């Protein structure tokens, strides 16, 4: 992609009009980009009629966007894929007409991404992560060289179709799967910055990916098992013991895969506790009877551990318990 093609207005595609998708769409639209949102059902109707209303630290943004099916929206310069990890392949299939040969694809889901081993440069370079792309559908739908890795530090929640609230500063870290810088990386970060979202380029995206995975994996499944909020998960001695054990296990896996995980365990736990009575996104999904992102946040990490025969007894047990808790109740 050439820098010239990043002259505003950019064609910014957002596939998946949930909390993250609507936040990004509203911010890009307010910054004057040409925003196209792939949505469906009641959300599509709401976006067409009222656009998106975002309340964030900058105030209220009321944004008009092009909303529709992918055929009518067409190829984009940047295409953000904003579904839960387990829905990504179906979303990518639906969004296929928004993907041209020069489109830069930026997936937002938490957890281990399907592109993890693409240009990773280690012993497992090119390998597929079975837990997140079991049949290779994602790799087949999205040319890997068009992907920029992303780690999203935005906290957002839907208030209704097309209505979203976010109460924290917006930060998105981006990185080339093969490492280093690139013109498209700088341009994508600049576009985010111009939209009021800090776009932070990373030379080694997997290092920070493991930091986010540590946060999600030590809190999300445990919150489903216990019903606890972050202050309790990182504050109650019995739960903190479990968190510490999981952190040790994750650190070994991250290091074995060559990541430099810079987490001070004491500081990490203090920060988690200081977040207060926050219900994790997985606990919220659980309470609403929705599928959980356990494959990307949990099982993919166990898969990466197995590649080096690293035992993860505590992490495995917590994931198994969360899976159990998420099963539909057995009929009496």
Ligand X SMILES: NC(=O)C1=CN([C@@H]2O[C@H](COP(=O)(O)OP(=O)(O)OC[C@H]3O[C@@H](n4cnc5c(N)ncnc54)[C@H](OP(=O)(O)O)[C@@H]3O)[C@@H](O)[C@H]2O)C=CC1
Within 201-220, the residues that bind ligand KPL by CB under 6 A are 215-216, 219-220
Residue pair 95/13 in contact by the 8 Å Cβ criterion = yes
DSSP state letter for 98: G
Tokens of 299: 């099982």
What does 315 bind: ligand KPL, ligand X, none (CB cut-off 5 to 8 Å by kind)?
A: none
Considering the candidates 34, 204, 212, 244, report the single residue annotated as catalytic. Answer: 212
Question: Tokens 């936040």 appear where?
Answer: 23
Stretch that binds ligand X, among 34-42, 57-65, 191-199, 221-229 (CB under 6 A): 34-42
Per-residue CA distances from 218 to 20, 68, 244, 250 (Å): 22, 38, 8, 9
* Beta-strand pair 156-160/163-166: antiparallel
Q: Which of 158, 255, 278, 310 binds ligand KPL (CB under 6 A)?
A: 278
Candidate segments 36-44, 50-58, 125-133, 271-279, binder of ligand X by CB under 6 A: 36-44
89 near ligand X (CB under 6 A): no
State how far the Cα of 207 lies from the Cα of 185, in Å rounded to an integer: 17
**Which of 13/109 has CB closer to ligand KPL?**
109
Min dist CB 81 to ligand X, Å, is 9
Rg (C-alpha) for the chain, rounded Å, is: 19
Partner whose binding site includes residue 293, from ligand KPL, ligand X, none (CB under 5 to 8 Å by kind) = ligand X
Asked if 155 and 168 touch (Cβ cutoff 8 Å), the reply is yes
In angstroms, give the least distance from the CB of 42 to ligand KPL. Answer: 24
Q: Is 212 a catalytic residue?
A: yes
Q: Is 23 in the site for ligand KPL (CB under 6 A)?
A: no
150: β partners: 174
Q: Which residues bind ligand KPL (CB under 6 A)?
A: 215-216, 219-220, 278, 280-281
């Amino acid at each position: 992609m050439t820098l010239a093609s990043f002259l505003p207005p950019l064609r910014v595609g957002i596939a998946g009009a949930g909390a993250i998708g609507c936040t990004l769409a509203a911010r890009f639209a307010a910054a004057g980009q040409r925003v196209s949102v792939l949505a469906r059902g009641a959300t599509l109707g709401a976006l067409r009629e009222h656009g998106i209303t975002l309340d964030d630290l900058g105030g209220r943004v009321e944004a008009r966007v092009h909303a529709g099916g992918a055929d009518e929206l067409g190829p984009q310069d940047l295409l953000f894929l904003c579904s839960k990890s387990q829905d990504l392949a179906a979303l990518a299939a639906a969004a296929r007409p928004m993907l041209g040969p020069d489109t830069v694809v930026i997936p937002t889901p938490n957890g281990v991404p399907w592109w993890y081993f693409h240009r990773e440069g280690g012993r497992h370079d090119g390998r597929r992560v079975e837990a997140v792309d079991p049949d290779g559908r994602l790799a087949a739908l999205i040319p890997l060289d068009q992907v920029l890795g992303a780690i999203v530090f935005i906290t957002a929640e839907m208030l209704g179709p097309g209505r979203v609230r976010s109460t924290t500063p917006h930060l998105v870290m981006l990185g080339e799967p093969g490492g280093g810088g690139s013109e498209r990386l700088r341009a994508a970060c600049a576009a985010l910055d111009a939209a009021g979202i800090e776009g932070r380029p990373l030379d080694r995206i997997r290092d920070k990916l493991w930091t986010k995975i540590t946060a999600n994996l030590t809190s999300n499944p445990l919150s489903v098992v216990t019903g606890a909020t972050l202050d309790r998960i990182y504050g109650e001695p019995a739960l903190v013991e479990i968190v510490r054990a999981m952190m040790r296990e994750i650190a070994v896996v991250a290091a074995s895969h060559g990541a430099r995980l810079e987490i001070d365990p004491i500081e990490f736990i203090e920060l988690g506790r200081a977040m207060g009575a926050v219900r994790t996104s997985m606990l919220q999904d659980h309470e609403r009877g929705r599928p959980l992102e356990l494959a990307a946040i949990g099982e993919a990490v166990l898969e990466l551990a197995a590649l080096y025969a690293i035992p993860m007894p505590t992490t495995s047990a917590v994931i198994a318990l969360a899976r159990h808790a998420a099963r539909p109740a057995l009929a009496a």
